[in-house]
Amino acid sequence: MNSIPVITLDGPGGVGKGTLGRLLARDLGWHLLDSGAIYRALALAAQRAALPADNAVALSELARTLPLSFRGGADETHVLLAGDLVDAEIRSSEISALTSQIAAIPAVRAALLQRQRDFRQAPGLVADGRDMGTVVFPDAPLKVFLTARTEERGKRRLNQLMEQGISASLATVVAEIAERDARDQQRSVAPLRPASDARLLDTSEQSVSDTYRVLQSWVQSAFQEN
């Protein structure tokens, strides 16, 4: 499987990983892994089953048997849980917070590791997440770690919520983002951090098209060299 190329896009929420990943997968004709959607779907399933966020045994068993599937392609991928379309539900603030708590459980991460690696199929994979380059695909030829200022990420998240008809204040959204960042960075297993050989890209002041041009140049360079 190591002969199948992977590009990893890691970083906290609101830096543009999802958008850039979809664009890149579409243009390359590769598969796309939105690892966050897997953890979010697990959080939703746990909520539906009324499982406490600290029940590691039950949550890891749920992770192993999670009735999760994806529909569509790189341009637009939909998430289904037990056959139900859950795109909107898994993006709620409540599920985001629960996802961060559940993702810190080592047994849960172990249960989902192979499931994520199974997305590595020819001709290649673009993997978007928080530990794609450090844990899931450490041999990826190109690893990118995206960042952006917390307030800028808060504005982007607030716009998404408003588009969904959800009201919130910028201060509340920024506080939630900072809280999740702290949990993700401080967890004992697979903390949020760049791989030692990752390229860093700050998207705070750049448009999607500007950021994507930089990313495309890195892809071209990485695969010419390899």
Q: What domains can be seen in the chain, in order of their start residue?
A: 6-216 (3.40.50.300)
Q: Is the pLDDT of residue 135 over 70?
A: yes
Residues 137, 143: Cα–Cα separation, whole Å = 9
13 is in an annotated binding site: yes
Residues 120, 25: Cα–Cα separation, whole Å = 13
Confidence tier at 65 by pLDDT (50, 70, 90): very high
106 is in an annotated binding site: no
Q: Is the pLDDT of residue 75 over 80?
A: no
Average pLDDT of the segment spanning 41-55: 96
Q: Is the pLDDT of residue 59 over 60?
A: yes
Q: How confident is the model over 141-174, as pLDDT tens digits?
A: 999 999 999 999 999 989 988 887 888 899 999 9
* Residue 226: predicted pLDDT: 52
Per cent of the chain over pLDDT 70 is 97
133 is in an annotated binding site: no
CB count within 10 Å of CB 217 equals 10
Per cent of the chain over pLDDT 90 is 79
14 is in an annotated binding site: yes
* Residue 181: predicted pLDDT: 92
Higher confidence at residue 206 or residue 74?
206
Q: Is the pLDDT of residue 73 over 70?
A: no
36 is in an annotated binding site: no
Average pLDDT of the segment spanning 6-23: 94
Q: Is 30 exposed, middle or buried (0-12, 13-18, 19+ CB in 10 A)?
A: buried
* Residue 70: predicted pLDDT: 86
Confidence tier at 76 by pLDDT (50, 70, 90): confident
Average pLDDT of the segment spanning 103-116: 94
Q: Is the pLDDT of residue 1 over 80?
A: no
18 is in an annotated binding site: yes
Residues 67, 63: Cα–Cα separation, whole Å = 9
Tokens of 66: 């999670």
154 is in an annotated binding site: no
Beta bridge pairs of residue 10: 129, 145
Q: Is the pLDDT of residue 91 over 90?
A: no
The full DSSP string for 87-149 is TTGGGSHHHHHHHHHHHT-HHHHHHHHHHHHTT--TT-EEEEESSIIIII-TT-SEEEEEE--
Q: Is the pLDDT of residue 95 over 90?
A: yes
* Residue 164: predicted pLDDT: 75
Average pLDDT, the chain: 92
11 is in an annotated binding site: yes
CB count within 10 Å of CB 220 equals 10
83 is in an annotated binding site: no
* Residue 43: predicted pLDDT: 97
